[in-house]
Structure 1
Amino acid sequence: MASATRRFDIEAITDKIYEASVVPESWTSVLDSMTDIAGGVGTILLAADTTDFRFISTQGLSGFVESFVEQGWPERNTRTPAVLKARHAGFIVEKDVYSPKEIENDPLINQFLRPQGLGWATATAFPMSTGDTLVFSVERAYRNGPVPEASVELLDSVRPHLGRAALISGRLRLERARAAVETLALLGLPAGIVSRDFRLQAANALLEGLMPRVVRDGSARVAFADGDADDLLATALNATRRQVPRSIPIPKRDSDPALVAHLVPVRGIARDLFTGSAFILVLTPVEKQAQGPDADLLQGLFDLTAAEARVARAIVAGETVETLAVRQRISESTVRTQLKSIYAKTGMKGQIDLVRLGSGLSLVRSDEA
């Protein structure tokens, strides 16, 4: 242990850890230091969620997690559940959770790790206040044997700092997200943060003012009071590729104006490893206007192409598919194809719904909100 301690500047590593707590990009440097301590190939920091793998990894494991996911190993993974089940406040190695026979027969170890020259590791887990569990896993080459006990002890010495830094990261990232939704309130836009389990983590005062008449903070997930809009929201939240922006129309109801809800993915390094945040939900109020909406407005609200926006505006203005095709010098089949895409993006079921939506679209200025 003494020789291992002399090889590493623990104080410098600890400084790196706390730097990473406020500068997410610095986590990679921390993971590099952990790799060096264990004599490993690389280190992964991941959120333990088999349905949506979120991770940061060092250069030595470039492509490793991507292959792991592509080959379907998250559903057959035995290592992460073993780490979580152990509930050990320290780093563990294979012999702590597997028998020698289990190591030799484990499909993940033998069919995925060893063919890549890997097969030994040390890992630890931290439960987060967001409901996620963070796992640090240092991967070591099979030819080098198990991670030495001295290395595990050294990693254990910095483990409390890793836990505190992860907690700080989570709080800071959540506060930044909250600041973002408060900034949107200054622009007159109701907004909130939606977690990865689809519940509201935070909401600005404007969004709270629409609850529960328009938006409902349910125990299972955030929801819309309007049934059709809520069906679209449920589909968007449960989509396989949840990192795709979506816009959902919400019709006028009693004294509340018509709205367009934008579900904007939270992206970036360590974006949701620490906060559990998945989306920023922004509601754009709309008001009735005498003329049809501007094509640029339709394009911006629903992520339409320029051609789709022109078709949508023409339909809202009362044109038929036939007259529109003649005027724009395109085939009717092209117009109908564009309409199908428009319906998919706006959530409308047909031309009548599109006309009803579009006839009331006009952005409410922030000083009128």
Structure 2
Amino acid sequence: MSERERLADEIYAAAWLPSLWPEALKGLARLSGSFGAALVSRKNSTRWIGTPSVEPVIKAYMDGGWWTCDTRAARAAALLYPGFVADNELYSPEELEHDTFYVDFLRKFGLGWSLVSAIPSRDQGAMILSVERLLEAGPVDPSLVRVLDPYRFHFAQAVQISERLGTEQAQTASRILKVLGLPAAVIGDDGRVMAVNSLFEDLRGRLVARAFGRVGVSYRPAAKLLDQEVSRLVSTAVAVPVAIPVPVSEEGPALVLRLVPVRREAGDIFARAVAILVVTPLECGAPPPAPILQGLFDLSPMEAKVAGGIASGGTIETIARTHGKSRETIRSQLRSIFSKTGTTRQAELVGLLARAQINLTV
């Protein structure tokens, strides 16, 4: 098998196994005698993958906001050419000598010549495939564009395959949770719902559809907290363990909402799901045991004891004496319980636990 045939195979293999994207990009850079190559989303700055050689460059590109000065992709897309375009075809020599992105960013890394192509993407708007070359290599020869153009087609096909797989994985996750008896919705990297199972749809009176495909909650305090947590997860990719209680109503039992982060495989820039919203109904008369509640609210064993004491009518002073702790320690643990259960007062906490009819006394 020739190197060119092997590169085509590596590109399609990466569509199915995301950890292989760097190897496919490395093959593209090697074939063109370039410094490195990258695949970057124009829509989401956290979605990029590159060869090891360009990773520090892309990180500085994203962190420093240099993508706002980089007009290569926009100019290439405007040409409507389904292949690679060299920057000496996009800019005049005078522009290249004075362009801020080239002068103040690329040349700082010893770079200065490139080939770029905009690949249409259903989820990311467009993926930018770029091949970066050293400044000392000189302008790109047109013959090099002809060598690389066939591989742009392969990359475009692989991007479509990866995006389709990401959507199917989200749907599969929601179906698995249905088998486990849990209502669930898969949340994408834009905060919108990608998929729900039928158990989640059965809660439409409690969990409502909102504008732009986001999940809403009929109980306003829970709706506000859910919005905050989804926004935090989308913008930082960091989930803070928190349970969001929805009180009992005429429409059904109390609910606990949990956002479970979805960990992407290394290199998987197309798996859009960032979290699964799992809903646990707290049925009166059939409460889960204390260990389950601890799991729902991420309570430590001592926090469970404090919550149980409060639910049983105890005070901070009596709970401290019972467990040999200081009042400040109990107050600190109570603040943690409030944070984890989404409550702000002891009365709210008592009401939440009473509705679930759970005895936390240990």
Corresponding position of 1:198: 191
Alpha-carbon spacing, 1:79–1:331, altered in 2? closer, same or farther (3 Å): farther
Distance 1:20 1:326, change over 3 A: same
Distance 1:77 1:308 in 2: 52
2:340 to 318, 328, 345: 345
Give the match for residue 349 of structure 2.
Answer: 354
Deviations 1:114-169 (A, max 9, x none): 22222322222222222542222222222222343222222211212211111111
Gaps of 5+ in 1: 1-6, 364-369
Deviation at 1:170, TM superposition (A): 1.3
Are the equivalent residues in 1 in contact too, given 2:187–2:194 (CA < 8 A)? yes
Match for 1:20: what amino acid?
A
Q: Secondary structure at the match of 1:249?
A: strand
- The percentage of aligned residue pairs carrying the same residue is 36
* SS of match in other structure, 2:83: coil
Which is further off, 76-85 or 178-187?
A: 76-85
SS at match of 2:256: strand
Tell me the equivalent position of 2:275.
279
How many aligned residue pairs are there?
Answer: 354
Please say which of residues 323-332 and 21-30 is displaced more in the overlay.
Answer: 323-332
User: Structure 1's 114 and 247: CA in aligned 2 closer, same or farther, altered over 3 A?
Assistant: farther
Of 298-307 and 168-177, more deviation after overlay is shown by 298-307
* Post-superposition offset of 1:186: 0.6
The answer for the alignment partner of 1:226 in structure 2 is: 219
Asked whether the 8 Å contact 2:42–2:124 carries over to 1, the reply is no
Alignment partner, residue 367 of structure 1? none
What whole-Å deviation, never above 9, does each CA across 1:291-318 have from its counterpart, x for those lacking one?
A: 9962x33432133444434433333333
CA distance 1:289–1:90, change in 2 (3 Å) = same
Task: Tell me which residue corresponds to 2:209.
Answer: 217
Cα displacement string for residues 209-247 of structure 1 (whole angstroms, at most 9, x for unaligned residues): 222x12223332222222111101111122242431543
1:292–1:317 contact (8 Å) kept in structure 2: no
1:55-102 Cα deviation digits (max 9, x unpaired) = 222221233333333334345544455455555422223233333333
Partner-residue secondary structure (3-state), 1:248: strand
CA gap 1:144/1:345 in 2 versus in 1, 3 angstroms: farther
Q: Could you report, residue by residue, the CA deviation over 1:182-229 in whole angstroms, capped at 9, with x for unpaired residues?
A: 011011001121122222211111112222x12223332222222111
Is contact 2:307-2:337 (8 Å) kept?
Answer: yes
Residues 190 and 206, structure 1, Cα contact 8 Å, conserved in 2: yes
Determine helix, strand or coil for the equivalent of 2:105: helix
Match of 2:25 in 1: 31
Equivalent in 37, 43, 54 of residue 37 of structure 2: 43
Matched residue, 1:144:
137
Greater displacement, 74-83 / 163-172: 74-83
Q: Which amino acid aligns with 1:325?
A: A
Structure 2, gaps ≥5 residues long: none
- Residues 115 and 356 (structure 1), Cα distance of their counterparts in 2 relative to 1, 3 Å cut: same
Cα 1:332–1:174, aligned 2, differ >3 Å: closer, same or farther? Answer: same
SS at match of 2:284: coil
* Contact 1:292–1:358, Cα closer than 8 Å, also in 2: no
- What is the CA–CA distance in structure 1 between the aligned matches of 2:349 and 2:24, rounded to whole Å? 52
SS in 1 for 2:119: strand
Other-structure match for 2:245: 249
TM-score by length of 1: 0.85
User: 2:267 & 2:170 partners in 1: Cα distance?
Assistant: 10
Residues 1:27 and 1:188: Cα distance change in structure 2 (over 3 Å): same
User: Per the alignment, do residues 356 and 21 of structure 1 end up closer, same or farther by CA in structure 2, a change over 3 Å counting?
Assistant: same
Task: Find out whether 1:94 has 2:90 as its counterpart.
Answer: no
Q: Are 2:307 and 2:334, in contact at CA under 8 Å, matched by a contact in 1?
A: yes
- Contact kept, 8 Å, 1:189 with 1:282, in 2: the verdict is yes
